[in-house]
Amino acid sequence: MVRKLQVGTSGLGRMGARHARHFLERTPRAELVAAYDPSPEAMAWARQHLEPFGTKLYNDFEEMLKHPGLEAVVIATSTTEHAPQTIRAIEADKHVLCEKPLSINVEISQSVADAAKRKPHLKVMCGFSRRFDASYRNAYEQMDAGNIGKPSILRSQTCDKFRGDAYFVEYAKKSGGIFVDCQIHDIDLALWFFGQDSVVKSVTAVGTISRTPGLEESNDVDNGVGIVEFYGGKVAYFYSSRMMMPGQHDMTEIIGTHGKISVNANPANDLVEMHEPSGIRREIAQTYYDRFEQAFVKESNEFTECVLDDKKLPFKLTGAVQAVVIGCALQESLLSGKKIDFDPMGNRIVEAKAKL
């Protein structure tokens, strides 16, 4: 019999439920043996979609960690729970796939990396889904082959479809802000394309509330623009939005000394074009999952492969910490209106206080 990775999932909300089904139905080398969520609504869903297929359900995270034979845990709870649950799973000697970001706090994010460092035999990975997308991987390979020369500028955006309800207002209360949550994917892309060990030199950000006034309560915005300068002459420009009307539009451009690579610059859900009296129309993906579903499935399969075959993870956990450093700095710049500088070692440069 072929050995399968024994996996448990923590959190069965929208994203957690997807992870659970990916490991249950679409990851041949894994077996979803356990799932945790304290919510009665989530448990009702799990009793219908997971329990009949042999998944043991728990309403206590610590009890799930004790499940016989459990080897790996997927953390997909609210962002504030990512770090403490990841650390606890590491301490319980479990491999971990944690949804992004590791935390909304730099020090807490670093504590996750520190915990993983103490258990080097474990595979601990942050779930940056775009790293597993076929188009982004193709773009990276083209750049890495030198086809556009030396990469100098990266422009990247994450634009969510507009919602008329209070979802983004409620979400902002725990998300850490639009740059830490929404823009973290683009920040990670910059660290991927510019190099895992790129050192940030400065960040600056601005934003506006255009359609969601309730975001003021969380010091957040529904449109944000950030500029990140890296040592070595590289610059990243980020745009995030919560009010894209036609659907989800996430795109990236990598501009090099001899060319440019674009990913999803002209979005299309498929190859269908509607030729109508008003013009030609293409439908686009409506949600982030619509766009990156296959990337999430590949993520679960590659994580499983890394654990079972003791392969090196596709990227370092330290990069996930660096992404939070940049995201938090952008959020701070947004609120303060000030540029934030870092020294060549990546340490924050603190302005000297004026003498009285």
Tell me the pLDDT tens digit for each residue of 310-336. 999 999 999 999 999 999 999 999 999
Specify if 76 maps to a domain.
yes
Query: What is the reported pTM?
Result: 0.95
* pLDDT exceeds cutoff 80 at 352: no
- Are 108 and 143 members of one domain? no
Number of residues in the chain: 356
**Residues 334-339: contacts with CB under 8 Å, at least 24 apart:** 334/177, 334/179, 334/205, 334/206, 334/207, 334/221, 334/224, 334/226, 335/219, 337/206, 338/204, 339/202, 339/203, 339/204
Average pLDDT of the segment spanning 292-313: 98
Model confidence at 350, pLDDT cuts 50, 70, 90, reads confident
Domain shared by 145 and 268, yes or no = yes
Q: Are residues 88 and 199 both part of a single domain?
A: no
DSSP code for 232: T
Does residue 158 share a domain with residue 49? no
Same domain, 112 and 140: no
Q: Please check whether residue 252 lies inside any domain of the structure.
A: yes
Last residue of a domain, one of 126, 149, 177: 126
- Which pLDDT does position 1 carry in this prediction? 73
Q: With respect to residue 317, please indicate whether it lies within any of the assigned structural domains.
A: no
Q: State pLDDT tens for residues 31-67.
A: 999 999 999 999 999 999 999 999 999 999 999 999 9
Based on the domain organization, do 109 and 138 belong to the same domain? Answer: no
Q: Does 311 fall in a domain?
A: no
Q: How many domains does the chain have?
A: 2
pLDDT at 356 over 90: no
Task: Indicate if 47 and 122 belong to the same structural domain.
Answer: yes
CATH number, domain with residue 195: 3.30.360.10
d(CA 144, CA 112) in angstroms, rounded, equals: 30
**Same domain? 56 vs 18:** yes
The 10s digit of each residue's pLDDT in 262-288 is 999 999 999 999 999 999 999 999 999
Q: Which of 110-114, 125-129, 348-352 has the lowest mean pLDDT?
A: 348-352
Cβ 86 vs Cβ 75: under 8 Å: yes
The string of pLDDT tens digits covering residues 157-201 is 999 999 999 999 999 999 999 999 999 999 999 999 999 889 999
Res 351: pLDDT: 73
Q: Is residue 310 part of a domain?
A: no
Domain termination residue (choose one: 94, 126, 158): 126
Locate all alpha helices (DSSP H) within 99-238, ordered by sequence: 106-117, 134-144, 167-175, 184-194
In this prediction, residue 318 carries a pLDDT of 96
Same domain, yes or no, for 28 and 139? no
Q: Tell whether 78 and 22 lie within a shared domain.
A: yes
Domain boundary among 126, 145, 160: 126
- Residue 82, domain extent: 5-126
The answer to whether 207 and 224 have CB atoms below 8 angstroms apart is: yes
CATH number for position 105: 3.40.50.720
**What is the predicted pLDDT for the residue at 207?**
98
